[in-house]
């Protein structure tokens, strides 16, 4: 499940495209083993060393996608990397000039523009759709387009999908890996607007102050996706494989507050939006009116006593990322100051 906020409102990056409370984003499974993400950082990519591995990232402009691309470009196996953009003029200069990177024009909402021929692995996610249209149908269409392009390619061995759900789209794809997380650290980037004000503060729709939940950075998500893609051809014990990605520990709003004060050097006030105030809060946000109920419902599922509270805090079979809130917020703060 993904919650995306913007100035205390719902906003950037990737978002799951199913109704949150009606889907088991953290389904009960057998007891699982706890892993450390850092133990996965030195994969022996025997397949990619023996062959010229080609990985496509679609869409390539999302924050998670950019970190996945960067990880692929930095990998010692030197894979060929393809990024799919609706507008290739917006490709970051650091990618555009890289010798093993190729930008191609394509739109995940238009399956006819997707060509994965010759590719070994695909990394994909569902882009946000918060314009008031049917985002559930939109997400299903995106997943279907990618699945069909994978099948048509006859070369793709592994699909890595950042998604809370979508197992039904795994049929006929071969190796499928779902990377799932609860909450992006970067959701808090929306707070930078009010933190930069004369009276620094930010809103939190997570309450109470010391309630903690799994938060992970888009950098760690992107790195995880890249490493899963580079293992294409290595048999999975089960397909689809589900990677439950957590940060180095759970974080509370108090941790968020303290991290912002440490990074900015400012004294900051936090305004908690309690459960009874969620609807009013979202109604006065830029969120389209027809999505208010969905986002109130979504919030309630992982707040104290919510449907997903127990499952999202089950650390068995969890993979841990490296980034702390300070790591993530430092990048966000630097970017905001240079904008």
How high is the pLDDT of residue 50? Answer: 41
Q: Alpha-carbon distance 205 to 179, whole Å?
A: 24
Quick check: 86 pLDDT over 50? Answer: yes
pLDDT tens digits along 261-275: 999 999 999 999 999
How high is the pLDDT of residue 233? Answer: 87
pLDDT tens digits along 226-265: 999 999 989 888 888 889 999 999 999 999 999 999 999 9
Q: Alpha-carbon distance 265 to 267, whole Å?
A: 7
Domain ranges in the chain? 20-302+309-338
Lowest mean pLDDT among 46-60, 119-133, 187-201: 46-60
Q: How many other C-beta atoms are found inside a 10 Å radius of the C-beta of residue 271?
A: 11
The mean of the pLDDT values for the chain is: 84
Quick check: 17 pLDDT over 80? Answer: no
3-state helix, strand, coil in the chain (%, to 5): 40, 15, 45
Quick check: 9 pLDDT over 50? Answer: no
pLDDT tens digits along 161-218: 997 555 545 566 678 999 999 899 999 999 999 999 999 999 999 999 999 999 999 9
Quick check: 4 pLDDT over 70? Answer: no
Quick check: 15 pLDDT over 80? Answer: no
How high is the pLDDT of residue 170? Answer: 56
pLDDT tens digits along 276-302: 999 999 999 988 998 899 899 989 998
Q: Alpha-carbon distance 259 to 87, whole Å?
A: 35
Q: Alpha-carbon distance 143 to 140, whole Å?
A: 5
Alpha-carbon distances of 9 from 12, 172, 190, 203, 303, rounded to whole Å: 10, 38, 8, 9, 17
Q: Alpha-carbon distance 260 to 242, whole Å?
A: 32
In the DSSP assignment, the letter for residue 22 is G
* 106: CB partners within 8 A, 6+ apart: 58, 84, 85, 86, 113, 114, 115
Q: pLDDT-based confidence at 139, cuts 50/70/90?
A: confident
Q: Give the predicted TM-score (pTM) of the model.
A: 0.83
CATH class of domain segment(s) 20-302+309-338: alpha beta
């Amino acid at each position: 499940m993904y919650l995306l906020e913007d100035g205390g409102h719902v906003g950037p990056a990737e978002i799951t495209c199913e109704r949150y409370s009606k889907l088991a984003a953290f389904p009960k499974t057998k007891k699982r083993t706890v892993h450390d993400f850092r133990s996965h950082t030195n994969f022996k990519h025997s397949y990619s060393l023996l062959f010229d591995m080609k990985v496509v990232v679609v869409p390539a402009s999302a924050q998670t996608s950019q970190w996945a691309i960067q990880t692929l470009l930095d990998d010692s196996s030197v894979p060929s990397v393809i990024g799919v953009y609706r507008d290739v003029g917006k490709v970051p200069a650091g990618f555009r000039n890289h010798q093993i990177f190729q930008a191609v024009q394509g739109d995940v909402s238009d399956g006819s523009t997707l060509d994965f021929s010759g590719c070994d692995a695909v990394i994909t996610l569902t882009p946000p759709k918060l314009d008031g249209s049917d985002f559930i149908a939109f997400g299903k269409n995106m997943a279907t387009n990618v699945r069909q392009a994978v099948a048509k390619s006859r070369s793709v061995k592994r699909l890595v999908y950042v998604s809370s759900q979508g197992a039904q789209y795994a049929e006929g794809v071969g190796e499928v890996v779902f990377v799932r997380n609860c909450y992006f650290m970067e959701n808090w980037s929306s707070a930078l607007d009010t933190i930069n004000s004369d009276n620094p503060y930010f809103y939190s729709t997570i309450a109470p102050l010391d309630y903690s939940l799994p938060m992970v950075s888009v950098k760690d998500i992107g790195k995880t996706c890249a490493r899963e893609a580079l293992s294409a051809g290595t048999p999975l014990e089960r397909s689809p494989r589900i990677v439950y990605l957590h940060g180095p520990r759970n974080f509370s709003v108090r941790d968020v507050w303290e991290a912002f004060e440490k990074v900015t050097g400012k004294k900051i006030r936090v305004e908690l939006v309690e459960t009874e105030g969620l609807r009013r809060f979202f109604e006065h946000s830029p969120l389209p009116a027809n999505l208010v109920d969905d986002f109130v419902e979504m919030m309630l599922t992982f707040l104290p006593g919510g449907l997903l509270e127990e499952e999202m805090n089950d650390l068995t079979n969890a993979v841990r990322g490296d980034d702390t809130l300070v790591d993530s917020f430092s990048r966000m703060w630097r970017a905001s100051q240079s904008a």
